Chain A
């Protein structure tokens, strides 16, 4: 049978997205007003796994789009299958942008632009590849920075107002995470820090580890770290990575899907409450 041209591209994905358990309209209404400059940059960093780092970015980008925020992903991770573009491969729109850019366009949602940086490039701030057109309201636009895996990148990049740091819960990964936090604060003491634990066995373990970790950071640096929760890996997450479809778009309530949705939700609640926290503010 001759295949018909597909109408309503992305409709299935967006339907699933809209039917999720997350309240969208209310959160949109209650969001703190963004300042006139609009752009809010968020760095995401997992010193132990580029794949999990990109995975969180891909899903966070969709959660932001669901709340009607235009999103630009600036991907500084090493080339390969662990890049955000690869993890969103099944929902990329056909587009004539350059080879280092891709776009996700789901029906009724603002587009997500993915810009891939060349090796050695660092984040310089600014509007990035998605320039606002005359008359377009840039408020609420998010730049998600997929951080390259080294401390040098953080030190040499422009200051980023919000960092989401993912870490495993062994002693060495936690020391590494603390080192990253120290460098982030050295780069800009105004940066807000959000922590995600990658492999905590139980919620109680995660709470205890976070309590000790954040207590030490507060004791040493006088700053609070915001806990976003635990990242759960399961077969559904593995399948979503293999199928290049972010797990927040996958039907059904897997443990991994719920954990990622909760992390995104907590983060957005945190930035909504702090409000007015822009790249220029750092």
Chain B
């Protein structure tokens, strides 16, 4: 067994680029620009889109408070400079008339952060727990989205019907036993099944 200790990345830009891979691969977003704006008037770490929304993404590697403030000032900067940005980016790259969504990545979130932000803000917010492990030279990234009201934590861990729905594999007809056998086979220490 290995115990992984989260680390604070020294290179914020590298972390942002690494997170960009995840957003592109897992959520299918197109990253249009990195590091818009500036530290004084507001900045956005990543501007992205899925052709249905515009995502203003802030990556916070340490305290949520810093990331939250940066995210909100970034949104303010975006609103103030929207006309300018519309001239810079074509509609094919990003349609800035689409509804904006704030995304914040942080190592930790106090309980019910998402519910509080949803009530306090008029625009949608998506929160992602983002942890880095390994070394500064060879970091490993872990990202998961916080569901509304911490639904995942309330879910029974062994509910395989939920798993089938989540993975959209109902039509494969995998039985509970088959899934559990498969899970066990993946955890087998020696690759003894492959004989």
Contact = CB atoms under 8 A, between A and B. Distances in A.
Q: Do A and B come from one complex?
A: yes
Contacts of A214: 194
Given A51-B24, A51-B28, A172 B191 contact: no
B21 A212 contact: no
Nearest to A182: B172
Contacts of B178: 220
B174 interface: yes
8 contacts: A48-B26, A81-B30, A155-B171, A182-B172, A209-B186, A211-B193, A216-B186, A220-B178
Interface string A48-89: 111110000000000000000000000000001110000000
Which 9 pairs between the two chains have the least Cβ-Cβ distance?
Answer: A215-B193, A215-B194, A179-B172, A179-B169, A211-B191, A216-B185, A211-B194, A176-B167, A151-B171
A80 B51 contact: yes
A34 interface: no
B169 A151 contact: yes
Interface residues of B, number: 32
B169 A215 contact: no
Contacts of B156: none
Given A155-B171, A176-B169, 11 more contacts: A49-B28, A171-B186, A172-B166, A176-B168, A182-B173, A182-B174, A183-B172, A209-B186, A214-B194, A235-B17, A241-B24
A174 interface: yes
A254 interface: no
Interface of A: 47-52, 80-82, 150-152, 155, 171-172, 174-176, 178-180, 182-183, 198, 201, 208-209, 211-216, 218-220, 233, 235, 238, 241
Contacts of A219: 185, 193
Given A151-B171, A175-B167, A179-B169, A213 B21 contact: no
A38 to B, nearest CB: 33
Given A51-B28, A215-B192, A215-B195, A233 B172 contact: no
B186 A201 contact: no
Interface of B: 17, 20-21, 24-26, 28, 30, 51, 140, 163, 166-169, 171-174, 178-179, 181-183, 185-186, 188, 191-195
Given A80-B51, A176-B167, A233 B25 contact: yes
Contacts of A178: 174, 182
A175 B183 contact: yes
A183 B171 contact: yes
Contact of A179 (B17, B167, B193, B194): B167
A256 to B, nearest CB: 11
A215 B191 contact: yes
B163 A175 contact: yes
A180 B172 contact: yes
A50 B186 contact: no
Contacts of B194: 211-212, 214-215, 218
A209 B194 CA distance: 11
Chief secondary structure at chain B's binding surface? helix
A214 B192 CA distance: 11
Given A80-B51, A182-B174, A238-B21, A212 B186 contact: yes
Contact of A175 (B179, B192, B195): B179
A213 B182 CA distance: 8
A34 to B, nearest CB: 32
B191 A175 contact: no
Contacts of B169: 151, 175-176, 179-180
A175 to B, nearest CB: 6
Q: Specify which of B20, B28, B163 lies most central, judged by the most chain A CB atoms within 10 Å of its CB.
A: B28
Contacts of A50: 28
A238 B171 contact: no
B25 A51 contact: yes
A264 B163 CA distance: 32
B167 to A, nearest CB: 4
A155 B169 CA distance: 12
Contacts of A241: 24
A172 B195 contact: no
A122 to B, nearest CB: 14
Nearest to B188: A212
A174 B182 CA distance: 9
A179 B174 contact: yes
Contacts of B174: 175, 178-179, 182
A175 B171 contact: no
